């Protein structure tokens, strides 16, 4: 029997029972659709986390000062001021794995500009900050060493702050920004950076020279850094080694002996990114497992209907065998029938899955990513289900004795 | 009668196991059917005539003995090999017609050709030709439930002869038909014999057996009588459509 005839006979048999074929196919449609949509959701979540960490920079290490004892009460990390300006200088100059390092002194305060006010984060830092964060200016110029050394009253605005106060970010440059009543000259506006993995707006920030920050905002220059140090590794893949170097250097400088706990804390963002990605990976696997179950149910539906079909058409099988169908011809006929059901279901299911993913993005703003290889796997898997679950009914049909089959009522 | 036998059954026995009890359906049967014979097999139910027909039709294999079709021993062939033999050499006509429901007459007739390496167009051409031979060319698109019993049996006969077999096996072909249509069907079978096809038919009606050239009787698994006779020509009632058919196929 030629392949074309086999396919034609199979299609005719299915068309004869449109309702039944349709409902059986629906099981596979739902299964494949669920797999495609679930994987799209999982991949979307993964891509979102990845993007967030990329905008932050996975080569970054944050060094937080250690805790201090206030009359018997242990404060959390960052409550003390154990990092010194000399520590920062040593990190910048003595470590081979470090590309750049910058201090971060932060406070939240309202700022005024162009007659508007806006509550934002004001950060004191140095010219190195732009190197560490790999952050370019959209308008104007960045902070320079002379600004930091001379404690000049200049400010660089994040995109959001410039928009909130001036409406048009370009208009901010050259204008005056007031922080706690003190006027600063706006010298630049940063390019937009987006959100942090925790949903914080990176662009909602005002950068001023660290020395200016200490004198005008915090009230007095200190030997210790009243904030954290942001370190960038030379190589994005070597952030773990960089963190080790920084830890060893600081322990040495702080004269900690073996057994003493660190009086500082190091956060490696690449590790945090990995942890987050593993979380989304688990989510993807879970969603896929649920979807796979529905695909399995669809396959059982096919097997069920094929068994009914073989029983119903016992006499037809007998006639076909009598006129010369070999057992393998009968086997192929039923196998192609179940394969057709499952592949058509798979193709429609891909459409439903892709459409569903699109709908989730359009209606609810869920990030989804439809991968072509997932579509190929889903269709291939549905074909496998067709063959797998069609094989048993088809073998039963092929094993029928023509004499018995012809007598079947 | 010096022709070599077309069907040669040589000391064949068939034993079934129903539960633990062996049932001997055929016991040492020998039978030769020559080309051009119209053989009627008679016998009561349980006599073994159905078993004999199943063996002749290669639907079953003998427990003992040999069976040769056209000189070829088919008694030890596999199921798949037997299917090919049926497809090439044998046509079947059943008492209950056994047409596929919701399938047009021409597609029913095409069925044996599906299992041969033929193009769809050639299959259709031969099927229409076979339908014309039984006088149903104009009913090619009808489904079985739109045809009378006699017409359905003629479609079945067209299906049996579309593959140009050596032998047509008819199992009580008139069992579900009235006497007028029975004669039509027998006329067709006689026509097949005239065209060179050997026909073996099972019947329990003596007036149907009268149309055959040879009658054997099976009883308790053995052939008990074997009589050659001059067949009564089957002349259909003149008002029946089949008269025109025979004319169309070249029979006066």
Q: What are phi and psi of A75, to 5 degrees?
A: -85, 165
Contact B115 A326 (CB under 8 A): yes
> How many whole angstroms separate alpha carbon A174 and alpha carbon A401?
95
Do residues A124 and A210 touch, judged by C-beta distance below 8 A?
yes
Same domain, A244 and A309: no
Mutate to test the interface with B, among A322, A325, A336, A402 (most CBs of B within 10 A): A322
Same domain, A306 and A253: no
Position B43 scores a pLDDT of 92
For B89, the token pair is 């050499």
Q: Any idea how long chain B is? A: 252
For A51, the token pair is 């993007």
For B65, the token pair is 């003995």
Same domain, A399 and A328: yes
Same domain, A326 and A250: no
Q: Any idea how long chain A is? A: 409
Same domain, A246 and A284: no
Query: Total structural domains in chain A?
Result: 2
Q: Report if residue B68 sits inside a domain.
A: no
Same domain, A320 and A200: no
Q: Report if residue B7 sits inside a domain.
A: no
Position A199 scores a pLDDT of 67
Cβ–Cβ contact A406 with B under 8 A: yes
Contact A322 B88 (CB under 8 A): no
Of B100, B115, B117, the CB nearest to A316: B100
Q: Report if residue B171 sits inside a domain.
A: yes
Q: What is the extent of the structural domain holding B91?
A: 35-61+73-248
The domain boundary, picked from A262, A293, A325, lies at A262
CATH number for position B244: 3.40.50.300
Q: Report if residue A65 sits inside a domain.
A: no
> How many whole angstroms separate alpha carbon A102 and alpha carbon A80?
18
Confidence of residue B247 (pLDDT cuts 50, 70, 90): very low
Q: What are phi and psi of B147, to 5 degrees?
A: -115, 150
> How many whole angstroms separate alpha carbon A222 and alpha carbon A215?
9
Chain A residues touching residue B116 (CB < 8 angstroms): 324
What are the angstrom distances between the C-alpha of B51 and each of A114, B12, B45, B82, B202? 107, 11, 11, 16, 11
Contact B114 A5 (CB under 8 A): yes
The order of strands in the sheet holding B72-73 is: B21-33, B7-18, B64-69, B72-73
Q: Is the dihedral of CA B242, B244, B247, B249 positive or negative?
A: negative
Cα dihedral angle (A145, A149, A151, A155), rounded to 10 degrees? Answer: 10
Position A80 scores a pLDDT of 59
Distance from CA of A396 to the nearest CA of B (A): 15
Cβ–Cβ contact B87 with A under 8 A: yes
Q: Report if residue B181 sits inside a domain.
A: yes
Contact B102 A321 (CB under 8 A): no
Q: Is the dihedral of CA B212, B35, B201, B158 positive or negative?
A: negative
Chain B residues touching residue A325 (CB < 8 angstroms): 83, 114-115
Cβ–Cβ contact B159 with A under 8 A: yes
Same domain, A210 and A101: yes
Those residues of chain A that have pLDDT short of 50 are 69-71
Chain B residues touching residue A336 (CB < 8 angstroms): none
Q: Pairing state of beta strands B90-93 and B167-171?
A: parallel
Q: What is the extent of the structural domain holding A130?
A: 83-262
The domain boundary, picked from A228, A262, A296, lies at A262
Position B126 scores a pLDDT of 97
Cβ–Cβ contact A11 with B under 8 A: no
Q: Report if residue B130 sits inside a domain.
A: yes
Asked if residue B244 has pLDDT above 50, the reply is no
Q: Report if residue A77 sits inside a domain.
A: no
pLDDT per position as a tens digit, B66-111 = 999 999 999 999 999 999 999 999 999 999 999 999 899 999 999 9
pLDDT per position as a tens digit, A361-392 = 999 888 888 888 888 888 888 899 999 999 99
The domain boundary, picked from A240, A262, A284, lies at A262
Asked if residue B171 has pLDDT above 70, the reply is yes
Contact B83 A319 (CB under 8 A): no
Distance from CA of B252 to the nearest CA of A (A): 32
Query: Total structural domains in chain B?
Result: 1
Q: Report if residue A41 sits inside a domain.
A: yes
Contact B115 A316 (CB under 8 A): no
Determine the residue of chain B that is closest to A324 in CA distance: B87
Distance from CA of A14 to the nearest CA of B (A): 13
Position A239 scores a pLDDT of 81
Asked if residue B173 has pLDDT above 90, the reply is yes
Same domain, A131 and A243: yes
Do residues B15 and B35 touch, judged by C-beta distance below 8 A?
no
Q: Is A81 left (phi over 0), alpha (psi -120 to 50) or beta?
A: beta
Q: Report if residue B91 sits inside a domain.
A: yes
Same domain, A87 and A229: yes
Position A378 scores a pLDDT of 85
Cβ–Cβ contact A243 with B under 8 A: no
Q: Report if residue A75 sits inside a domain.
A: no
Q: Report if residue A91 sits inside a domain.
A: yes
Position A76 scores a pLDDT of 54
Determine the residue of chain A that is closest to B159 in CA distance: A323
Q: Report if residue B4 sits inside a domain.
A: no
Same domain, A289 and A363: yes
Q: Report if residue A369 sits inside a domain.
A: yes
Cβ–Cβ contact A322 with B under 8 A: yes
Distance from CA of B78 to the nearest CA of A (A): 10
Same domain, A94 and A231: yes
Percent of the residues in chain B that have a pLDDT greater than 90, as a whole number: 83
Position B151 scores a pLDDT of 95
Contact A318 B98 (CB under 8 A): yes
Position A198 scores a pLDDT of 64
Q: Report if residue A323 sits inside a domain.
A: yes
Same domain, A238 and A304: no
Q: Report if residue B23 sits inside a domain.
A: no
């Amino acid at each position: 029997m030629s392949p074309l005839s086999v396919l034609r006979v199979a299609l005719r048999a299915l068309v004869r029972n449109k309702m039944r074929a349709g409902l059986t196919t629906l099981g596979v449609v739902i299964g494949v659709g669920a797999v495609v949509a679930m994987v799209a959701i999982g991949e979307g979540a993964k891509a979102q986390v990845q993007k967030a960490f990329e905008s932050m920079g996975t080569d970054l290490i944050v060094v937080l000062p250690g805790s201090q004892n206030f009359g018997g009460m242990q404060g959390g990390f960052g409550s003390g001021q154990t990092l010194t300006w000399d520590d920062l200088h040593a990190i910048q100059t003595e470590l081979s794995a470090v590309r750049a390092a910058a201090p971060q002194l932060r406070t939240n305060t309202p700022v005024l500009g162009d007659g508007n006010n806006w509550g934002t984060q004001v950060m004191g830092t140095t010219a190195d900050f732009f190197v560490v964060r790999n952050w370019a200016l959209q308008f104007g110029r960045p902070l320079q060493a002379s600004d930091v050394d001379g404690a000049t009253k200049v400010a660089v605005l994040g995109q959001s702050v410039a928009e909130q106060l001036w409406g048009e970010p370009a208009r901010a440059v050259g204008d005056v920004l007031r922080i706690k009543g003190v006027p600063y000259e706006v010298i630049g506006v940063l390019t937009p950076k987006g959100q942090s993995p925790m949903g914080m707006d990176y662009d909602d920030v005002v950068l001023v020279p660290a020395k200016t920050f200490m004198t005008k905002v915090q009230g007095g220059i200190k030997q210790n850094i009243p904030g954290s140090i942001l370190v960038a590794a030379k190589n994005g893949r070597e952030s773990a080694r960089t963190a080790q170097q920084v830890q060893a250097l600081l322990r040495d400088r702080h004269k900690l002996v073996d057994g003493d706990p660190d009086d500082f804390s190091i956060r490696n963002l690449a590790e945090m990114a990995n942890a987050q990605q593993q979380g989304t990976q688990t989510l993807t696997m879970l969603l896929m497992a649920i979807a796979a179950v529905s695909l399995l149910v669809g396959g059982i539906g096919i097997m069920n209907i094929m068994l009914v079909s073989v029983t119903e058409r016992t006499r037809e099988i007998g006639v076909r065998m009598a006129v010369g169908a070999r057992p393998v011809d009968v086997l192929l006929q039923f196998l192609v029938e179940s394969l057709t059901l499952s592949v058509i279901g798979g193709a429609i299911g891909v459409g439903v899955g892709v459409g569903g993913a699109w709908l989730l993005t359009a209606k609810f703003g869920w990030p989804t990513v439809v991968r072509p290889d997932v579509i190929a796997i889903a269709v291939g898997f549905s074909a496998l289900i067709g063959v797998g679950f069609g094989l048993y009914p088809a073998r039963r049909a092929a094993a029928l004795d023509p004499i018995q089959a012809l007598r079947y009522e | 009668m010096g022709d070599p036998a077309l069907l040669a059954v040589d000391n064949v026995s068939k034993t079934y196991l129903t539960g633990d009890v062996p049932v001997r359906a055929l016991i040492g049967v020998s039978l030769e059917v020559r080309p051009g014979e119209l053989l009627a097999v008679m016998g009561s139910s349980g006599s073994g005539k159905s078993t004999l027909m199943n063996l002749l039709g290669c639907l079953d294999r003998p427990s003992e003995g040999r069976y040769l079709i056209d000189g070829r021993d088919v008694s030890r062939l596999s199921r798949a090999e037997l299917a090919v033999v049926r497809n090439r050499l044998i046509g079947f006509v059943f008492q209950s017609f056994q047409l596929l429901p919701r399938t047009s007459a021409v597609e029913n007739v095409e069925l044996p050709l599906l299992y041969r390496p033929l193009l769809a167009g050639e299959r259709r051409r031969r099927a229409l030709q076979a339908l014309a031979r039984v006088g149903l060319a104009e009913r090619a698109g009808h489904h079985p439930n739109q045809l009378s019993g006699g017409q359905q049996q003629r479609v079945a006969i067209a299906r049996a002869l579309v593959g140009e077999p050596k032998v047509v096996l008819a199992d009580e072909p008139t069992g579900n038909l009235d006497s007028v249509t029975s004669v039509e069907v027998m006329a067709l079978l006689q026509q097949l014999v005239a065209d060179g096809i050997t026909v073996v038919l099972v019947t329990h009606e003596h007036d149907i057996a009268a149309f055959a050239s040879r009658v054997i009787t099976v009883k308790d698994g053995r052939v008990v009588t074997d009589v050659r006779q001059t067949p009564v020509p089957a002349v259909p009632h003149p008002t029946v459509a089949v008269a025109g058919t025979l004319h169309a196929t070249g029979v006066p």
